[in-house]
Amino acid sequence: MFGILLVDKPLGISSHGVISRLRKTLGTRRIGHAGTLDPLATGLLVVAVGPATRFLQYLDLEPKTYVVTYKFGESTTTYDAEGEITETKPVPSNLADEIQLHLPQFLGRIAQVPPIYSAIKHQGKKLYEYARSGQEIAVKTRHIFIHSYETNSVSATEATFTIVCSGGTYIRSLAHDLGQAIGCGAHISELRRTGAGAYQITDSFPLDQITPSNLIPVKSALKHLPFVVLNPDQILHIRHGRSFNHPNPIDHPKAALLTEDGNVVGIANVSNAITLQPECVIPAEVFDQITANL
C-alpha cells in the first residue's frame, strides 16, 4: 500500500489514535501523519501510508486554515476547554469592537509563545510533562506567520474566526493572547482544520469510512514539484547517492524523480538550476513491491 489519505479527524481522538485505527483498517503498520491535531480539534489530517511516509515532508501542506471559536471571560491552563479554569473576568459589552481593535497586532510575522501544555520538547522532555509535574520552565518564543484572521461572528461571550497561518502556529495561543490583549481572557471552545496547502476538508473522508480506494497517488501529491524522468542508468546512480546534471534548467529547489513509467522513485535537491542531488530515494526492493501492486 502506497499513497496519501485525507482524513476528517473526529472529536475526542488524538492524531496518534487516528493512526492506530488506520493500521487496523488498512492492515499495515507503516502509517504516519503531518500536522498534529489535539483530541478536542476536528478536521483535516493528512496521512501517508507505506513508503509514502518518506514523502510527507515534501507535500504542499502550507498554509493551514482553521475555523475556531473562542470563549471570552475564562482563561484555562491548556488554553482550551479541556484545561482547568485559572481566571474569570467580565467580558466587555462591546466585544466585537474590542476584537477588531486588537486583531491587527496578530497579523503578519509575529512572535508566539506556545502553550506549556504542548508536545514541544525541552531538554528531551515534552512541555506538558513539565506542566503536569508542576515544574515551571521558560517556554521559548517562536516566530509564525498569520496570513489572515477574519471574524465570522461575535456573540456576548464567544466569537468565531477563520485563520490562515503558517505551520507550527498554536491556535490555542492565539486565543489566549487575544483574550489577554482585550483584558478578559479567552480559550478555545471549538477548533476545526479546514485546509492544509493544496488540500481542503471537502476532499477528505470520515475516519470510519476510509478504505484503500481513498488513497491519493504520491505522484499526484507531489504535483507542486517539477517532475524529472530518469532512465534506468540514472536511477542506479541516484540509488548510490550520486548527483547528475539535467539538460534543462529547473526553477525550483527540489524535484520529484520519476521512472520512465511515471512512478515516483525519489526527491532531489536542485542546485545551479541543473544539478540534482538525491535526497530521498525508495530502495529498489521496496520500489519493486510497490510497482508489483499497482
71, 103 Cβ separation under 8 angstroms: no
Cell digits of residue 194 = 479546514
67, 200 Cβ separation under 8 angstroms: no
Is 97 an active-site residue? no
**193 φ, ψ (degrees, to nearest 5):** -85, 125
The angle that helices 95-102 and 171-182 make with each other, rounded to 10 degrees, is 110
Active-site option among 38, 177, 261, 288: 38
For strand 41-49 and strand 186-196, is the pairing parallel, antiparallel, or unpaired?
parallel
Here the contacts of 132-141 (C-beta below 8 Å, separation 24 or greater) are: 139/113, 139/114, 139/115, 140/113, 141/111, 141/112, 141/113
**CA separation for the pair 163, 146 (Å, rounded):** 7
Q: Three-class SS of residue 14? A: coil
**CA separation for the pair 167, 146 (Å, rounded):** 10
Question: Could you please report the per-residue DSSP string of 225-236?
Answer: SPEEE--HHHHH
Mind telling me the catalytic residues? 38
